[in-house]
Amino acid sequence: MQPKILIIEDETDINQLLSKILESDGYRTIQAFSGTEGLLLAEQESPDLILLDLMLPGLPGETLLQRLRTEKQCRVPVLVLSAKAALSDKVTLLKTGADDYITKPFEPEEVSARVQAALRRSGSAQGQRPDADFLSYKSITLYPESRKVMVGGVELSLTSHEYALLYLFLQAPEKVYSRESLYELVWENGYYGENNTVNVHVSNLRRKIKEAGASEEYIRTVYGIGFQLK
């Protein structure tokens, strides 16, 4: 089932942009344009994640977040969107109950990466189904519970980062991941131009798949963007 994301943002253009970004990543979106509407939809729709602006009509974002965490006992991930970039603002919101903080203006890749990371931490990421015993693509089979990866009849010996990269690729075979989003999702840190880190790990993963006897290349470089399963 596709994760459901509630967008609470009063600026129509930004709300629509966020919806477009997330739906292109395979999520379902629900849109609210005020704090009061957002609080109501959070109760009615039971979203898997909430994107929350702070400057909202009806009910400010800070108050909405506090009510979600205290009165409503809502535990779904909440990612705050705000033009406030001061460290003190971020710290206050994280202490109030926000799971992450995205500063406006934002890049679509950052939104995608932070949303996927938050869903993965909460166990609601796309492709994470309780009944999914394995993920497979052509001759590769990955078993999440045992973290075992097979290419044909050969088991791969992967590092934790190589395994995480392959797990992402297998969850969404058609998706093109930028180097930035891969770094955000696998290393769970801000991206600081660490192109070589991602490139080296992808190169090692390719080599190990080939050495296991794969007859074709599995990970394709999308020039100027990043990587996807071939």
Instruction: Give the tens place of pLDDT for each residue, 142-183.
Output: 888 888 899 888 899 999 889 989 998 988 877 888 888 888
Cis peptide before 105 (omega within 30 of 0): yes
Q: What angle do CA 176, 19, 219 make, to 5 degrees?
A: 5
CA quadruple 114, 115, 120, 122: dihedral sign:
positive
Whether residues 139 and 118 share a domain: the answer is no
Share of the chain above pLDDT 90, in %: 36
pLDDT value, residue 122:
73
Sign of CA pseudo-dihedral 7, 70, 128, 106 = positive
**In this structure, what DSSP letter does residue 186 have?**
I
Distance, in Å, from the CA atom of 58 to the CA atom of 45, rounded to the nearest integer, reads 20
Query: 3-class DSSP state for residue 216?
Result: coil
Residue 55: strand, helix, or coil: coil
Strands 226-229 and 177-178, sheet pairing: antiparallel
Whether 213 and 161 share a structural domain: yes
Residue 68 maps to a domain: yes
Q: Residue 90: what pLDDT?
A: 81
84 and 174 inside one domain? no
Contacts (Cβ under 8 Å, ≥6 apart) of 216: 138, 230
Query: Residue 13 has what pLDDT?
Result: 95
- The chain-wide mean pLDDT, for the chain, equals 85
Is residue 12 domain-shared with residue 117, that is, in the same domain?
Answer: yes
pLDDT for res 227:
92
Q: How confident is the model at residue 190 (pLDDT cuts 50, 70, 90)?
A: low
pLDDT in tens, 67-93: 998 887 788 999 999 887 777 878 888
Note the pLDDT of residue 72.
75
Q: What is the pLDDT of residue 189?
A: 60
Which alpha helices (H) appear in 97-194, and where do they start and end?
108-122, 160-171, 179-182
Of 70, 98, 122, which one is at a domain's C-terminal end? 122
Q: Which two tokens stand for residue 74?
A: 């809502």
Residues 169 and 106 in one domain: no
Give the per-residue pLDDT at 197.
86
Residues 107 and 19 in one domain: yes
